[in-house]
Structure 1
Amino acid sequence: MGPPTSAAVVLLAFCISAISFLLPTGEAAQNLLEVVYQGCSSTTFPKNGGFDQTLTSLFSTLTSQASQSRFYKTSAGSGDHAISALFQCRGDLSNGDCSDCVKRLPEEANRLCGPTTAARVQLQGCYLQYTAGDPNQVSGTELLYSKCASSRVTDSTFLQMRQAAFSDVQNGIQGGSGFYTVDDGGVYALGQCEGDLSISDCGVCLKSAFREIENRCGGVKSGQVYLSRCYATYAYYPDGGAGGYGNYGAGGGSSGHAQQTGKTVAIVVGGAALLFFVFVCLCFVRSLWKKHDDY
């Protein structure tokens, strides 16, 4: 068989480009960058006070550490110009996804809060927090944000299953990682503590978070509570379908399974279309090659 014709080479290159275009583009990773909430101080830094340079330096340090660690705390400046900051990624994120998530945080902090003296921006996959002055003034169990789905669960055993899932998370946290997830009978639950919190303090914090969820959300399909040093979320998917990285209440719970089913169908249909396209491309390339050999 001789060398391929120029037409065959061009067609093969086109097929490869088209196939790469049709491949999945990391939708799960994109979901990690969605904003959950932001908390911004009511006071702003004085102009020309040097705080903007200090904050920029802090952001640069945090983003540079995100490919190596899922939690990092640092400070910059001194005296009245000191600012403390930290980031934390979800415990199940890869280094690459953590880095991508943290890189988005300074942009979102500037967009959502501007030059405020303290801010916390929570994305689905990570969060950033910074404050001027003493970062330990806030209680570790202060409620920052909560959200509950509107749809209630009719299954009479749901509350017991959710309680079992919450207990499993609290027990699992004792392993010392500060992050734990469970799936108990279709109840997906997640708990995470700030990276430098002790095991005992983490347990106390999560106990408060789960109690807040129970009090605020009752028997609805999903809920999430963020305290200053830990957070907990859950979602009920009786037929499965929490998806990559788990939704754990992020989608409100009422349509999470339907959305996951739709994604699955789209992946199957798209995969079939991709295979058919590859088959057609290979047939054309083979035909051109055969014609070249016939000559």
Structure 2
Amino acid sequence: MGISRAQHHHHLLSSPQISTNVLPSLTITLKLLLLFLLLPAVAGDLYALVYKGCANQTLSGSGAAYMQPLSSLASALTAQTASAKFYKTTIQSLFGLFQCRGDLSSSDCSTCVGRALPMWTSLCGPAAAARVQLNGCYALYQASGFPQVSGTRMLYKACGSGGGGGGFEVKRDTALAQLQSGVASGQGFYVTSYASVYAMAQCEGDLSAGDCSECVAQAVQKSEVECGGASSGQVYLDKCYISYSYYASGVLHGGGGGGGGGSGGGQTEKTVAIVVGGAAGVAFLVICLLFARSVMRKRDDY
């Protein structure tokens, strides 16, 4: 808490009233406290809705007539979430797929897809095609014969409300160029950082390295046009998406990146910042109480 570990340890050794055994306990307590407070914010963000896309056309039939094929498709996809991060199939003239973010664990992927699939009907009703994008995954379906769209068609964008400041665009462009190089090497999911700009890209699971690279390049161009000098941005194309955020001096800056939309992302960042600040304050209080208890015990011993 503003005192280096070496200085803190020296202080403990120089004081005859405070036990040096307190330091390991404080370290463990602090780590556990921070982990306990941060996990809910991080986990909850994975399942936040980013956007939905619903076709104007509707599935043929009504009630159970269209619900049964959708239910069968959802069950077929759900069965694969424990072993795959990308899977597609066709059930009764309905094509569907899911994809999880490349850094998700199997359990987080399964939970994310499990939350996205019911949103098909809750958000889009009997639409002939629907796509639900959460922060950690997306799931889509479309009826047989539904018109196809270009893989580089922009589906959604979100730009932060604040500017990155002097020199930001050079930093951002460098990070985004690294993204393009990363996916060109055959990695469909890639994360990088440069000068406090953190960027991520992901392509649909069965895209070739060349098509993935081209899609990400298109997303980068669109982000530069759509978001300009904004400190964060997200661009979702049909076959890939990118996001970037700028953190000045390690402090969350601007809004949008990594969240569910322009304002949603900013709110997520504020929530995390509040949690971190709260954790630090509580941890400091715990340390003070442990020190006081140690001093009292030593005095009792004397």
- Give CA-to-partner distance per residue, 1:128-160, whole Å, 9 cap, x none: 1110014782210111111112211222x1111
- What is the TM-score when the length of structure 2 is the normalising length? 0.75
Structure 1: 5+ residue stretches without partners? 1-18, 280-295
How much does 1:74 deviate? 0.7
How much does 1:57 deviate? 0.8
How many angstroms apart in 1 are the aligned matches of 2:232 and 2:289?
40
Partner of 1:97: 108
**Cα distance change on mapping 1:189 and 1:277 into 2, 3 Å:** same
Q: For this pair of structures, how many residues does the alignment match?
A: 254
Letter in 2 for 1:51: Y
Asked if 1:44 corresponds to 2:43, the answer is: no
**Cα distance change on mapping 1:207 and 1:23 into 2, 3 Å:** closer
Match runs of 1:100-179 below 5 Å: 100-134=111-145, 137-155=148-166, 157-179=167-189
* Runs of 4+ residues deviating >3 angstroms: 22-25, 251-261, 269-279
Indicate the larger mover: 111-120 or 126-135: 126-135
Match runs of 1:213-228 below 5 Å: 213-228=223-238
Aligned 8 A contact 2:85 2:101 in 1: yes
- Give CA-to-partner distance per residue, 1:225-246, whole Å, 9 cap, x none: 110000011111122257xxxx
**Cα distance change on mapping 1:270 and 1:85 into 2, 3 Å:** farther
Partner of 2:68: 53
Structure 2: 5+ residue stretches without partners? 1-31, 292-302
**Cα distance change on mapping 1:235 and 1:63 into 2, 3 Å:** same
Indicate the larger mover: 254-263 or 116-125: 254-263
Aligned 8 A contact 1:71 1:87 in 2: yes
How many angstroms apart in 2 are the aligned matches of 1:50 and 1:277?
64
What secondary structure is seen at the aligned counterpart in 1 of 2:79? helix
How many angstroms apart in 2 are the aligned matches of 1:60 and 1:215?
40
- Give CA-to-partner distance per residue, 1:81-129, whole Å, 9 cap, x none: x000000111111111111100001222221111111000100110011
Identical positions, percent: 41
Partner of 1:68: 83
Partner of 1:233: 243
How many angstroms apart in 1 are the aligned matches of 2:133 and 2:212?
19
Q: 2:209 aligns with which of 172, 194, 199?
A: 199
Alpha-carbon RMSD: 3.0
How many angstroms apart in 2 are the aligned matches of 1:226 and 1:153?
21
- What is the TM-score when the length of structure 1 is the normalising length? 0.77
Aligned 8 A contact 1:241 1:260 in 2: no
Letter in 1 for 2:75: S
Asked if 1:33 corresponds to 2:51, the answer is: no
Aligned 8 A contact 1:148 1:220 in 2: yes
How much does 1:248 deviate? 3.8
How many angstroms apart in 2 are the aligned matches of 1:214 and 1:66?
34
